[in-house]
Chain A
């Protein structure tokens, strides 16, 4: 059998080209991958719009506006020294929001640094969300993780470490489990363009191809991985074409076009639900701000490039579209903006007032139950703290 198949494949395509011609041509054998866009940067509908109703369109818009305002506020708090770190998704709001809107609430999201907003879309309480950034007693993660590393089982958004790429094979495993249990649940993994260089990325795509799992891979190509532009991250012409090697279907989507993202993810989810396996989506976007509050991009990138992308802003574009469509008036938009801004200020104020987690909580959740040595260390710390007033520690 194997022998016959091998013989067949070797004679199937008789080569008239020399080996050198064939090799030289090979990078161009793959046709250029078009960009899927339905609203252009001026806000005009240019493609086949996915089916949505007004309530959904406005919910997506409201969430994008909320995260824009929240990010702005949190960057200010960081500069004032009120929070330690922050990773904003400014300029990238359409990708996570379009994605989460196209998924079912039961679908599992494996985020990276810039997709916390998916929790807010699913109704996670804003004040509790902000408590994560303060790392205080209101934080469901108990102040253990760095800011902007949100997670909550209540909304099926999985805990992310910080180690780039590690979440991608985990999403494949969750999808394998959902398939095994015959649940109509898909696992969606987010990643940046930088993450596509890690071994975990390749392993994950390979597994997904081999096991035909209900997974979605959403690569936010924001053109930068700290100081490294995507062109220095990979010699592939696109990120999307990496999926070809793993036998996965793929698309290249305008990640600043929320309806294009929504439509593509919806389609990919339906494929997964039909048992047709995983899909890879490259969402083309741009990191308008610094990598994080610890970074200063002026050292390594040209401001002119930022200006080009500011003109493609996902929020401004969608606003124009919604106004054009009659979904929203400029006045309503302004009112909503003011209201959301107040909501943000109020959530920050309330979150900031919460106390820090108690010292003894350090020893919880290392294991399901505390072993003797952690019990002893807990006592050791508490005794130390009791005999040392705060300022002497």
Chain B
């Protein structure tokens, strides 16, 4: 199964199991979504549960909040995460704060699914990685899977979660990431990272599509005698800080990889958390390999993205430092 089929399977199973679950968004109904994530749901569950909305992200997210408050379990699709901003107010000012501002009286357990990241020649507005805005907004959980198995299990957990979850799907690997995925329902818990490769020299941390680039870099590093450990965060918030700290305590070296621009990217937070908890274990200055602090470009996207060669350089540098 590929990643998009895994997402589709999770939605389909949850809708079959729980009639409170509905999907809504632009082109998600009859068409099945521009990436086909909601394919077949319209036929199986009808237009009331597979809802084609007008073109308005504020409307999609605002309406989903209302549905969720009322007891449904909406899964809203934003066609590209670059287009989430007309709905930003509803997420940041409303969704994230609803439970808190009502003293726990009202809540909106819902999921916002949205394709994220570059690598599809999408230019400025079909490529960005805006996770930091949501990580910086208390009240939201943030998930970004890197493979089909996790995508399905995490999405099912997200739909069943009592809090709003931002579910970022790395579109670059929608079809390229394939793997064994059980056809039945299962969950992957939110808040647990996965150690994809164990190693003693350097800890490499990433999520989403960049996990694959980091993995390539780790393999190349091994050929040069550097034994890297690779952590796929899977959930960015709540963060599995134990797995991160345990690993860095062991290796003493960390490299964080993300597509989003560097300044105020999540790497900054991960490094700070590590400094606060494992400062004396560090044997070298932590590294970030990230998108540059420019808008996401069209033609020069391979230069912009933190692909394996740039990651490898950082791994080798840090391994030989200190």
The residue from B34, B56, B83, B302 contacting A226, defined by CB atoms under 8 A apart: B34
- Closest residue on chain B to residue A371 by CB atoms: B293
- Closest residue on chain A to residue B36 by CB atoms: A299
Tell me if A179 counts as interface (CB < 8 A to partner B): no
Tell me the complex Cα distance, A227–B50, Å: 14
A143 close to B300 (CB less than 8 A): yes
A194 close to B55 (CB less than 8 A): yes
Tell me the complex Cα distance, A84–B119, Å: 12
B300 close to A362 (CB less than 8 A): yes
Tell me if A279 counts as interface (CB < 8 A to partner B): no
B31 close to A226 (CB less than 8 A): yes
Tell me if B21 counts as interface (CB < 8 A to partner A): no
The residue from B27, B30, B56, B292 contacting A198, defined by CB atoms under 8 A apart: B56
The residue from B52, B121, B297 contacting A144, defined by CB atoms under 8 A apart: B297
- Closest residue on chain A to residue B304 by CB atoms: A362
Question: Which residues from chain A contact B304 at a C-beta distance below 8 Å?
Answer: 362
In this complex, which of A85, A200, A228, A359 has the most chain B Cβ atoms within 10 angstroms of its Cβ?
A228
Tell me if A41 counts as interface (CB < 8 A to partner B): no
A-B contacts counted at CB < 8 A amount to 123
In B9-47, the 8 Å CB interface with A consists of 26-27, 30-32, 34
Tell me if A171 counts as interface (CB < 8 A to partner B): no
- Closest residue on chain B to residue A234 by CB atoms: B54
A145 close to B126 (CB less than 8 A): no
A199 close to B302 (CB less than 8 A): no
Tell me if A363 counts as interface (CB < 8 A to partner B): yes
Q: A143-B300, A384-B310 are in contact. Are A164 and B55 (CB under 8 A)?
A: yes
The residue from B82, B83, B292 contacting A377, defined by CB atoms under 8 A apart: B292
Tell me if B123 counts as interface (CB < 8 A to partner A): yes
Minimum distance in angstroms from B308 CB to a CB of chain A: 9
- Closest residue on chain B to residue A226 by CB atoms: B27
The residue from A136, A373, A393 contacting B309, defined by CB atoms under 8 A apart: A393
In this complex, which of A162, A295, A392 has the most chain B Cβ atoms within 10 angstroms of its Cβ?
A162
Total contacting residues, chain A, CB less than 8 A? 48
The residue from A162, A299, A373 contacting B82, defined by CB atoms under 8 A apart: A162
Q: Give the interface SS of chain B, mostly helix, strand, loop or mixed.
A: loop
- Closest residue on chain A to residue B296 by CB atoms: A144
The residue from B31, B52, B299 contacting A356, defined by CB atoms under 8 A apart: B299
Tell me the complex Cα distance, A388–B262, Å: 22
Question: Which residues from chain B contact A194 at a C-beta distance below 8 Å?
Answer: 54-55
Tell me the complex Cα distance, A155–B134, Å: 39
Tell me the complex Cα distance, A225–B26, Å: 9
Tell me the complex Cα distance, A300–B122, Å: 24
Minimum distance in angstroms from B192 CB to a CB of chain A: 33
Question: Which residues from chain B contact A200 at a C-beta distance below 8 Å?
Answer: 86
- Closest residue on chain B to residue A143 by CB atoms: B299
A144 close to B309 (CB less than 8 A): no
Minimum distance in angstroms from B36 CB to a CB of chain A: 9
A199 close to B86 (CB less than 8 A): yes
Question: Which residues from chain B contact A300 at a C-beta distance below 8 Å?
Answer: 30-31
The residue from A161, A228, A233 contacting B124, defined by CB atoms under 8 A apart: A161
Question: Which residues from chain B contact A195 at a C-beta distance below 8 Å?
Answer: 55
Question: Which residues from chain A contact B293 at a C-beta distance below 8 Å?
Answer: 366, 373-374, 377
A361 close to B300 (CB less than 8 A): yes
Question: Which residues from chain B contact A263 at a C-beta distance below 8 Å?
Answer: none
Question: Which residues from chain B contact A232 at a C-beta distance below 8 Å?
Answer: 52, 54
Question: Which residues from chain A contact B300 at a C-beta distance below 8 Å?
Answer: 143, 356-357, 359, 361-362
Question: Which residues from chain A contact B298 at a C-beta distance below 8 Å?
Answer: 84, 135, 143-146
Question: Which residues from chain B contact A144 at a C-beta distance below 8 Å?
Answer: 123-124, 295, 297-299
Tell me if A163 counts as interface (CB < 8 A to partner B): yes
- Closest residue on chain B to residue A390 by CB atoms: B302
Tell me if B125 counts as interface (CB < 8 A to partner A): yes
Minimum distance in angstroms from A226 CB to a CB of chain B: 5
Tell me the complex Cα distance, A366–B261, Å: 13
Minimum distance in angstroms from B80 CB to a CB of chain A: 9
Interface string of B73-99 (1 = CB under 8 A from A): 000000000110110000000000000
Q: A146-B125, A393-B307 are in contact. Are A136 and B299 (CB under 8 A)?
A: yes
Question: Which residues from chain A contact B307 at a C-beta distance below 8 Å?
Answer: 393
Question: Which residues from chain B contact A163 at a C-beta distance below 8 Å?
Answer: 82-83, 85-86, 125
Tell me the complex Cα distance, A283–B55, Å: 19
Tell me the complex Cα distance, A141–B55, Å: 28
Tell me the complex Cα distance, A197–B309, Å: 44
Tell me the complex Cα distance, A266–B2, Å: 54
A143 close to B309 (CB less than 8 A): no
Q: A163-B85, A226-B34 are in contact. Are A143 and B126 (CB under 8 A)?
A: no
Tell me if A306 counts as interface (CB < 8 A to partner B): no
Q: A226-B27, A228-B26 are in contact. Are A198 and B55 (CB under 8 A)?
A: yes
A228 close to B299 (CB less than 8 A): no
Question: Which residues from chain B contact A374 at a C-beta distance below 8 Å?
Answer: 292-294
Tell me the complex Cα distance, A110–B65, Å: 33
Tell me if A317 counts as interface (CB < 8 A to partner B): no
Tell me the complex Cα distance, A136–B298, Å: 10
- Closest residue on chain A to residue B303 by CB atoms: A359
Tell me if A385 counts as interface (CB < 8 A to partner B): yes
Tell me the complex Cα distance, A161–B80, Å: 14
Minimum distance in angstroms from B155 CB to a CB of chain A: 23
Question: Which residues from chain B contact A68 at a C-beta distance below 8 Å?
Answer: none
Minimum distance in angstroms from B124 CB to a CB of chain A: 6
Question: Which residues from chain A contact B27 at a C-beta distance below 8 Å?
Answer: 226-228
Interface string of A336-373 (1 = CB under 8 A from B): 00000000000000000000110101110010000001
In B118-134, the 8 Å CB interface with A consists of 121-126
Tell me the complex Cα distance, A232–B32, Å: 16
The 9 closest A-B pairs by CB, nearest first: A146-B123, A143-B299, A162-B125, A227-B31, A197-B54, A135-B299, A194-B55, A84-B121, A197-B56
The 6 listed contacts between A and B (C-beta, < 8 Å) are A163-B85, A197-B54, A228-B27, A356-B299, A366-B294, A374-B293
Known: A163-B125, A233-B55. 14 other contacts (CB 8 A): A145-B298, A146-B121, A146-B126, A162-B124, A197-B54, A197-B56, A199-B86, A225-B26, A294-B34, A359-B300, A359-B303, A361-B300, A362-B294, A393-B309
A interface residue numbers (CB < 8 A to B): 84-85, 135-136, 143-146, 149, 161-165, 194-195, 197-200, 225-228, 232-234, 294-295, 299-300, 356-357, 359, 361-363, 366, 373-374, 377, 381, 384-385, 387-388, 392-393
